[in-house]
Amino acid sequence: MTADERILIVEDDRDILVAAKLLLKRHFAEVVTATEPERIPELMAVAPFDAVLLDMNFGAGERSGREGLRWLSRILELDRDAVVILITAYTAIDTAVEAIKLGAIDFVAKPWQNEKLIATVQAAIKLRRSRVETARLKDQNQELAAHLSRSSETMLGESETMRQVFRVITKAAPTDANVLILGENGTGKELVAREIHRQSMRASGVFMSVDLGAVAETVVPSELFGHRKGAFTGANENRTGRFQAASGGTLFLDELGNIPRHVQAVLLTALERREVVPVGSNAPVSVDVRVISATNVSRKELGDEATFRQDLLYRLNTVEIELPPLRERREDIPVLAEHFMRTYARKYGRPIQRLSQDAMATISAYPWPGNVRSLKHALERAVILCEGDTLRPSDFPLPRVERVAPEDGRPATTLAEVEREAIASALERHAGNVSHAAKELGITRTSLYRRMGKYGF
């Protein structure tokens, strides 16, 4: 025990009260006494008590214990984390058991054994401090969850396709339905997921994101479901999986198309039973999560049973949202560009105030293979390097779509050819550095490697 424990004893028998105080005073820092329970509120208002010893009967001839139960309820109203030990006679044991059901943590019978009373109070103090710490951590975690769930980015768009997306989000978010978000890389799938979480009943819980494209196939089960110490080489301690960590909140599975086929069956079972089995364990663990998934795989590919289990797909896409690529909602480019310009001007302390008409025309005509993400990176770069207060076409060194595609000599006209050209130009500008090229294109390194394989780089 520390040197600052405060104990309250409420007992109308002065002899018992004095005996208890003399005993406990030798072990605890401060012992406050009262013979009248009506003083409890004023005493508790001064400072919280680490333990309260409460007699069950007050007044001559009272034996029912009802008054003690009433004051027990009052104490718990005043302090939700209070720990109350009842002082009772052997004849009132049944009432003491009822009191424990109502929130008391223990009881001592008169006459008590000194060692037992001290041990009971010490245990009560430990419980009290555990409750207070638990409540503190819960409040802290709720604040942290709310902070993490707030994205620094804003969903913007005035096109009809985006208005429809916003309408679906508003309808789906308050429910607990699983949501599948489809769309090319950089279209804002995680922003949609965060917005759904923010508008949901789970908003005070955690929003946890897992990029399945960045997780090695062999460790996906451990990442999602956790593992037990010794389950495999390198498992030196127990680890909580993302499903458990996100319990009570929202789990966002990004790059769903990368999830291995053998893990799909385990994921389906977890969703159906609302429980997971950590790797190396046979004991299931209950979880309470809402799953939002996203993939850049086309709806056609996702519907291929050989690639993706259709029973799992049905579980994941109770509500389906498809985000349009930026080239299909060009009317949103000006508002997005203005927003990113202001954001990065503030961030870097740059005096940028406007986009010239020519610059706006240039970026509005570009197909943006990396979608909104690459538009954002282009504005960030332009703001940093711009001379003056106006962004001009020269501040946007975008790949020219009319360049000759190297594999067959034809001009790049199709989307695939434009995408290939954008990748080739980015790699050339960054001397083959995949990380830097991926950042410029507004896609992940994993996605860039996949596209490089697709186009034979």
CATH number of the structural domain spanning residue 421: 1.10.8.60
Instruction: Tell whether the model's pLDDT for residue 182 goes beyond 60.
Output: yes
Domain with 20 in it: what CATH number? 3.40.50.2300
pLDDT at 405: 44
Instruction: Tell whether the model's pLDDT for residue 402 goes beyond 50.
Output: no
Domain-ending residue, one of 107, 137, 167:
137
| Residues 280 and 247 reside in one and the same domain | yes
Q: Would you place residue 439 in the very low, low, confident or very high pLDDT band (cuts 50, 70, 90)?
A: confident
Instruction: Tell whether the model's pLDDT for residue 151 goes beyond 80.
Output: no
Q: Is residue 108 situated within a structural domain?
A: yes
* Percent share of the chain, pLDDT over 70: 88
pLDDT at 431: 65
Q: How many domains does the chain have?
A: 3
**Beta carbons within 10 angstroms of residue 429's beta carbon:** 14
| Residues 317 and 345 reside in one and the same domain | no
**Beta carbons within 10 angstroms of residue 88's beta carbon:** 23
Q: Is residue 172 situated within a structural domain?
A: yes
pLDDT at 160: 93
Specify the residue for token string 């105080």: 21
pLDDT at 406: 47
| Residues 252 and 376 reside in one and the same domain | no
**Whose CA is closest to 355, among 376, 383, 329?**
383
Range of the domain at 379: 327-454
Q: Would you place residue 391 in the very low, low, confident or very high pLDDT band (cuts 50, 70, 90)?
A: very high
Identity of the residue numbered 204: S
Q: Is residue 145 situated within a structural domain?
A: no
Q: Is residue 147 situated within a structural domain?
A: no
Q: Would you place residue 400 in the very low, low, confident or very high pLDDT band (cuts 50, 70, 90)?
A: low
| Residues 165 and 271 reside in one and the same domain | yes
SS (H, E, C) the chain: CCCCCEEEEECCCHHHHHHHHHHHHCCCCEEEEECCHHHHHHHHHHCCCCEEEEECCCCCCCCCCHHHHHHHHHHHHHCCCCCEEEEEEHHHHHHHHHHHHHCCCEEEEECCCHHHHHHHHHHHHHHHHHHHHHHHHHHHHHHHHHHHHCCCCCCCCCCHHHHHHHHHHHHHCCCCCCEEEECCCCCCHHHHHHHHHHCCCCCCCCEEEEEHHHCCHHHHHHHHHCECCCCCCCCCCCECCHHHHCCCCEEEEECHHHCCHHHHHHHHHHHHHCEECCECCCCCEECCCEEEEEECCCHHHHCCCCCCCHHHHHHHCCEEEECCCHHHCHHHHHHHHHHHHHHHHHHHCCCCCEECHHHHHHHHHCCCCCHHHHHHHHHHHHHHHCCCCEECHHHCCCCCCCCECCCCCCECCCHHHHHHHHHHHHHHHCCCCHHHHHHHHCCCHHHHHHHHHHCCC
| Residues 373 and 445 reside in one and the same domain | yes
| pLDDT digits 0-9 by tens, 71-83 | 888 998 898 889 9
Instruction: Tell whether the model's pLDDT for residue 317 goes beyond 50.
Output: yes
Which pTM was predicted? Answer: 0.61
| Residue 294, strand partner residues | 181
Q: Is residue 150 situated within a structural domain?
A: no
| Residues 445 and 343 reside in one and the same domain | yes
| Residues 168 and 108 reside in one and the same domain | no
What CA–CA distance (Å, rounded) separates 121 from 360? 73
pLDDT at 404: 39
Q: Is residue 391 situated within a structural domain?
A: yes
| Residues 403 and 282 reside in one and the same domain | no
| pLDDT digits 0-9 by tens, 246-305 | 999 999 999 998 888 888 998 999 999 999 989 888 888 899 999 999 998 888 888 888
Higher pLDDT, 162 or 215: 162
Q: Is the peptide bond prior to 111 cis by the omega test (within 30 degrees of 0)?
A: yes
pLDDT at 49: 92
| Residues 370 and 226 reside in one and the same domain | no
Specify the residue for token string 């711009």: 386
pLDDT at 142: 61
* Percent share of the chain, pLDDT over 90: 44
| Residues 17 and 125 reside in one and the same domain | yes
| Residues 181 and 210 reside in one and the same domain | yes
pLDDT at 18: 92
What CA–CA distance (Å, rounded) separates 343 from 350? 10
Domain with 257 in it: what CATH number? 3.40.50.300
Q: Is residue 152 situated within a structural domain?
A: no
Tokens for 147, please give them: 């902070």
| Residues 181 and 314 reside in one and the same domain | yes
Q: What's the whole-number mean pLDDT along residues 374-400?
A: 90
Domain-ending residue, one of 137, 169, 192:
137
Domain-ending residue, one of 137, 170, 190:
137
Higher pLDDT, 18 or 153: 18
Q: Would you place residue 58 in the very low, low, confident or very high pLDDT band (cuts 50, 70, 90)?
A: confident
Q: Are 330 and 364 in contact (CB under 8 A)?
A: yes
Q: In this structure, is the dihedral angle defined by the CA atoms of residues 427, 433, 438 and 444, taken in order, positive or negative?
A: positive
CA Rg value for the chain: 32
Q: Is residue 1 situated within a structural domain?
A: no
Instruction: Tell whether the model's pLDDT for residue 9 goes beyond 60.
Output: yes
